[in-house]
Structure 1
């Protein structure tokens, strides 16, 4: 299927690995001009090299900025002043008991997962509205609805992200601009792979055994009963970013393997 993304300009934050990289790769494969983003110049360079080697002629460049600071988010806005597609994918997570969460923990997770995306949207939404064309997509999580007890601060940040997307969508009323969030489920990204590998080694199990146990005990509601791949999430995001998804606006679009039982 041709997603009609040729000559579209896209910025994907947190795109040197995992879901972000898969999204950037898919958009580049569809003919979009893509700006990759990461915190490390080395990783950004490696990601750019990887995509251009896989897709000869791909128009890809990279920008470094630390979105854990407001200055970093504003620097990224200045470096990439105008795009057709903004994918706010950069995010952090980590298990920590609620009683142990510090003010710094809350500030950091909200800055990276919510505030940085708000800053970038504040930069790009007015330009999109002015030309009556554009897509803003927040990569949220099923944790926005199923708040995980082991990382409540993460779930709160993802719920805020989806609420932000819905609020911004209200500002697009009567235009061809859309703002959506995508609720990704547990995905086999770099961090998850390392966690599974380490746990398997520690408990003398196979990685497949660890995955099965996770979905039996921790996420029994999953209908696919496995981790999603970054490519599977990227396929959904690429469609939402395309002109073919023009009717999808203000939604929390599910790509979580059936974990959420609510139908609406």
Structure 2
């Protein structure tokens, strides 16, 4: 199977690290012109360098913008008015107890994790419809269908991603524009490593070993019994962004290592 995205412009939100950067690298490797976006110039520059280190001939450019705000979205629209592929990856998470989470934190999570993707999809999909082709991808989470007790506000926003994606797919029926969600499970990223830094220091294990141990304890239903690699998640995203996925839309596809114990979604 050969995926060729030459000539396609791909915008990936939240793409200076973790899954977003992995997806940007995968899209660049398939020939897409990739736009990397982050809030800090240094992080954007590092991400571009990372892509070029893997794919020296990649066409990649960067933009500094806070896409968790309307002003940041407008900055993106002015700098990059056109997209063939939109990956709504931007997201935040923490492990705060339900009773310790104030209204302001609920609102912040919803603004960043949900509304940011709504804004971008609302802007870019009409152009895709005019051209008769486009790919929109929302990065949700297994927490969107199996809400963790210690991350309820996060899980709610990831459920909302699924609803927006499925509804927008139906709204764009017959246009040649597909809309899908992917649901990663625990993935070995800088974010997960940071969350486990105290456990790493206490155990003396490597970050990778601690991440895999975390999965076995916190997500015992995992079938692979380890954290996924970023590339394993990115591979699914690249396929969904390609012409090969033309009959897949309105779908929520899990790349969670089997954490969710279900025959369906």
TM-score, with structure 1 as normaliser: 0.95
Distance 2:93 2:47 in 1: 22
1:49, distance to aligned residue in structure 2 (A): 2.2
* Residue equivalent to 2:252: 252
* Residue equivalent to 1:198: 198
Q: Is the contact made by 2:140 and 2:184 (CA closer than 8 Å) also made in structure 1?
A: yes
Distance 1:231 1:206 in 2: 20
In structure 1, the gaps of 5 or more residues are none
SS of the residue 1:86 aligns to: strand
* Residue equivalent to 1:26: 26
TM-score, with structure 2 as normaliser: 0.95
**More moved, 30-39 vs 186-195:** 186-195
Distance 2:192 2:102 in 1: 24
Instruction: Figure out how many residues of one structure are paired with residues of the other and give that number.
Output: 264
Distance 2:205 2:18 in 1: 24
**More moved, 40-49 vs 144-153:** 40-49
* Residue equivalent to 2:58: 58
Q: Is the contact made by 1:27 and 1:34 (CA closer than 8 Å) also made in structure 2?
A: yes
Matches within 5 A, 1:1-264: 1-205=1-205, 207=207, 210-264=210-264
Distance 2:147 2:219 in 1: 12
Distance 1:78 1:208 in 2: 40
SS of the residue 2:14 aligns to: coil
Q: Is the contact made by 2:183 and 2:253 (CA closer than 8 Å) also made in structure 1?
A: yes
SS of the residue 1:254 aligns to: strand
1:64, distance to aligned residue in structure 2 (A): 1.1
1:146, distance to aligned residue in structure 2 (A): 0.6
1:208, distance to aligned residue in structure 2 (A): 5.6
**More moved, 236-245 vs 171-180:** 171-180
User: Judging changes above 3 Å, is the alpha-carbon distance between structure 1 residues 25 and 153 closer, same or farther for their aligned structure 2 residues?
Assistant: same
Q: Is the contact made by 1:67 and 1:111 (CA closer than 8 Å) also made in structure 2?
A: no
**More moved, 142-151 vs 197-206:** 197-206
